[in-house]
Structure 1
Amino acid sequence: MSTELELPFRLDTDLTEVMRLRVQSLQQRGHKRLDGERLLQPNEAVYRLDFTKQSLGFSRWTVRLPQTGRLTVTATSQLWTPDLTNLMTRQLLEPVGIFWRAPGDAAPTQCYEADAHEFGERIAELAAVRKTMYFLFAFADGCSPQTVDCSITFMVDS
């Protein structure tokens, strides 16, 4: 018998702040980013997903955008350590999840279904070997961390 497990994405304020400080430090010193380094953009934040179970099957995304906006969710292969090693571009996983709500849309949040499904399956695969995964959330066209509610539901064999 299978049961559902809904896991919310949680804003990692500490990690987001450290990554913002890295950008600020580079700007203040006039230094360039490391070759291949992926710096956090002003419209991005780091979110985490903590897996309470390891054997999961992807079921569905739940993304609520109460107003017009666009959310892009990118998974990282990064296992952040206490020294917070730099995020490198090669550590960003494909595909990404793109969710949006257009002006005047009566429909709920939309997405590219095939990509979102493949992305969810990839997360379920990685959950088998991870306790935590990190994601970059990019907010555009009017959505923000304050307005987005995002979770992912998995099937768990019991």
Structure 2
Amino acid sequence: MASHLELPFREDRQLTEVMRLRVQSLQQRGQKRQDGERLLQPHEAVYRLDFSQQNLRFARWTIRLSAPGKLTITGTSQHWTPDLTHLMTRQLLEPAGLFWKTPEDGPDAPVKCYEADAQEFGERIAELAKIRKVMFFLFAFEDGLDRDNIDCSIAFKAAQKS
């Protein structure tokens, strides 16, 4: 028997700030990023999912955008220790989840996405949940969207232990 588990994406403000300070520090010292390092852009923030169960199957995305714009969610394969490691480009998962609304869409219009990519991304997250208690994501806000205009979660089918 399977039950549903809906997990909200939560902004990790502390980790976002640490990553912003890394960019600021490099700029102030006139240094360049490490080879392969992925620096946080001004329109990006770090979010996390905390898994209370490990044996999950992807069910659906629940993405609500209260304004037009584009949200790109990129998963990372990194176990984060921001004091010791920087985010490297090779740690970004493919595909990313791309969700958007256009200015022509009414307030009740469904959020658009590339279905196959969103499905594959959700399945990759479920796979990683088998070995993770926490997973981190880069949220990129574009075309007028910001953190105040989004509500995001991901639903899984959780297999019951017998």
TM over 0.5: yes
Give the superposition deviation at 1:82: 5.7
Write out per-residue CA displacement over residues 95-132 of structure 1, whole angstroms, 9 at most, x where no aligned residue. Answer: 00000001121321110000000000000000000000
Hey, what does 1:154 align to over in structure 2?
A: 156
Hey, what does 2:58 align to over in structure 1?
A: 58
Note if 1:124 corresponds to 2:126: yes
Quote the Cα distance in structure 1 between the aligned partners of 2:127 and 2:48: 16
Moved more, 78-87 or 19-28: 78-87
The one-letter code matched in structure 1 to 2:129 is: A
Hey, what does 1:105 align to over in structure 2?
A: 105
Structure 1: tracts of 5 or more residues without a match: none
Quote the Cα distance in structure 2 between the aligned partners of 1:149 and 1:143: 12
Q: 1:15 to 1:84 in 2, by over 3 A?
A: farther
The one-letter code matched in structure 1 to 2:32 is: K
Over aligned residue pairs, what C-alpha RMSD do you find?
Answer: 0.8
Percent identity reads 70
Moved more, 103-112 or 23-32: 103-112
Give the superposition deviation at 1:33: 0.3
Hey, what does 1:36 align to over in structure 2?
A: 36
Count, aligned residues: 158
Quote the Cα distance in structure 2 between the aligned partners of 1:20 and 1:67: 25
Give the superposition deviation at 1:89: 0.3
SS at match of 1:146: helix
SS at match of 1:48: strand
Quote the Cα distance in structure 2 between the aligned partners of 1:32 and 1:82: 18
Structure 2: tracts of 5 or more residues without a match: none
SS at match of 1:26: helix
Spell out structure 1 runs of 4+ moving beyond 3 A.
none
Match of 1:135 among 112, 134, 137: 137
Give the superposition deviation at 1:83: 2.2
Quote the Cα distance in structure 2 between the aligned partners of 1:80 and 1:92: 13
